[in-house]
């Protein structure tokens, strides 16, 4: 399996330099979503002291013509700090800074979906919306071949790999463990992980997060995963169907609840939300992957624990439905529900915003409503 040349560089030699004192200075790595809506970019600046809050972090800029975000003749883009985490690679007091991107005219870049999402979340904050997202991904070599798969063939059929243990069942656990601990150090609200149905496919869960924090924490967790994989010389893929044929795809199942849903008798509010979602299926499919549903069309076939992309369905404990109500929720008559349609490469800001618009703001039709500023 192909790994990157960088992975063969001596980590022990690097550590000699990482152990050097840095005085009172702090390294802040600014992170942003590029023009693809999927890729992440980063660069680092020195701060004179440790920032304690977002307001302590300065704005910055970058060349948008090199990130698919602007033309070369007017390429300066602004980085606006939005969320801050501890840096698990450089360690304290250094920081990871998740940023929004603004264009030269201070308007949001096309792939900056955070600003509108935050506005929508603020409209319903009294309902205390909680989210939990289950991020599936596949570990690949730099040649695009799944980690641990035979170079000229396939592993045994699916069955023994989900939550599997053993060298012949769990492919790449070192990466998973490193990512989990790095997220905990950073302050990301990661809450679990497991091996998935296809070998070399894994999942981590982030949540419960309230409102805009869901998108912030999932994007931070994705960045950390990419950096961990970089150190190991492999690639983390969020492609919703990385291997065609009789292999599971990769999704980002999204669990959702409000204060009303979590209280006694909340099942009624859950059912009302599901009814609203059923009337707006096409709108959600378009919002649930960065290509307006084209990526998900490869995954949502009605097979491999997915629903059919053209049909809306819901059921208790049904992993072949668009919406799953956990059995415990059906019994307790309160809790949450799971939307199984979002793709692994979805933008969590788009997904959570769409759910709020439909379930809590009761929007109808296939287009989002424009709200005055």
pLDDT in tens, 49-71: 999 999 999 999 999 999 999 88
Helices (H), 245-346: 259-262, 267-278, 281-287, 294-297, 327-332
Q: Average of pLDDT values for 160-171?
A: 97
Confidence bin at 320 (pLDDT 50/70/90): confident
Beta-sheet strands, E only, within 93-251: 95-102, 130-140, 190-195, 201-210, 235-237
Structural domains in the chain plus CATH codes: 7-111 (3.10.20.70), 121-360 (3.30.590.10)
Which pair of tokens denotes residue 338? 């799971």
- pTM of the complete model: 0.96
181 pLDDT higher than 50: yes
Number of helices (H), then strands (E), in the chain = 10, 13
Pairwise pLDDT comparison (304 vs 16), residue with the higher score? 16
Give the pLDDT score at 372: 47
How distant, in Å, are the alpha carbons of 90, 172, 239 from that of 5?
A: 21, 19, 24
373 pLDDT higher than 70: no
Backbone angles phi, psi at 102, to 5 degrees: -115, 145
| Pairing between β-strand 337-339 and β-strand 323-325 as defined by DSSP bridges | antiparallel
Give the pLDDT score at 153: 87
- Tens of pLDDT along 188-243? 999 999 999 999 999 999 999 999 999 999 999 999 999 999 999 999 999 999 99
Task: Name 152's Cβ contacts closer than 8 Å, sequence gap at least 6.
Answer: none
309 pLDDT higher than 60: yes
- For 296, other C-beta atoms within 10 Å of its C-beta total 27
- Tens of pLDDT along 243-261? 999 999 999 999 999 999 9
Residue tagged 């894994």 (tokens): 202
Pairwise pLDDT comparison (305 vs 65), residue with the higher score? 65
The size of the chain, in residues, is 373
Give the pLDDT score at 335: 98
Give the pLDDT score at 371: 58
Give the pLDDT score at 365: 84
Distance CA 154, CA 137 (A): 18
Q: Average of pLDDT values for 348-364?
A: 97
- Tens of pLDDT along 103-148? 999 999 999 999 999 999 999 999 999 999 999 999 999 999 999 9
């Amino acid at each position: 399996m192909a790994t990157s040349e960088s992975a063969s560089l001596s980590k022990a030699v690097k550590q000699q330099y990482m152990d050097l004192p840095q005085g009172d200075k702090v390294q802040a790595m600014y992170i942003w979503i590029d023009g693809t809506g999927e890729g992440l970019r980063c660069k680092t600046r020195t701060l004179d002291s440790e920032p304690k809050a977002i307001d302590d972090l300065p704005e910055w800029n970058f060349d948008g013509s090199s990130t698919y975000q602007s033309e070369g003749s007017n390429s300066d883009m602004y980085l606006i700090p939005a969320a801050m985490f501890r840096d698990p690679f450089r360690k304290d007091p250094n920081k990871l800074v998740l940023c929004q991107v603004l264009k030269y005219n201070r308007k949001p870049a096309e792939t900056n979906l955070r600003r509108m999402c935050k506005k929508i979340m603020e409209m319903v904050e009294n309902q205390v919306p909680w989210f939990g997202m289950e991020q599936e991904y596949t570990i690949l070599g730099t040649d695009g071949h799944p980690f641990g798969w035979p170079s000229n063939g396939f592993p045994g059929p699916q069955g023994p790999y989900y939550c599997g243990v053993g060298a012949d069942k769990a492919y790449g656990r070192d990466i998973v463990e490193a990512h989990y601990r790095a997220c905990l150090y950073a302050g990301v609200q990661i809450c679990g992980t497991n091996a998935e149905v296809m070998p070399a496919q894994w999942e981590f869960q982030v949540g419960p997060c309230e409102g805009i924090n869901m998108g912030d924490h999932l994007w931070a967790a994705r960045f950390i995963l990419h950096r961990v994989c970089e150190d190991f010389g492999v690639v983390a893929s969020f492609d919703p169907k990385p291997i065609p044929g009789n292999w599971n795809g990769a999704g980002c199942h999204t669990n959702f609840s409000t204060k009303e849903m979590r209280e006694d008798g909340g099942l009624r509010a859950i059912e009302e939300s599901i009814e609203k979602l059923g009337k707006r299926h096409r709108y959600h499919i378009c919002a649930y992957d960065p290509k307006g549903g084209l990526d998900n069309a490869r995954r949502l076939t009605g097979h491999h624990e997915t629903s059919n992309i053209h049909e809306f369905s819901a059921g208790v404990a049904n992993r072949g439905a668009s919406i799953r109500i956990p059995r415990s929720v059906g019994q307790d008559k309160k809790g949450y529900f799971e939307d199984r349609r979002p793709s692994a490469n979805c933008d969590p800001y788009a997904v959570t915003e769409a759910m709020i618009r439909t379930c809590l703001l009761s929007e109808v039709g296939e287009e989002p409503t424009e709200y005055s500023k």
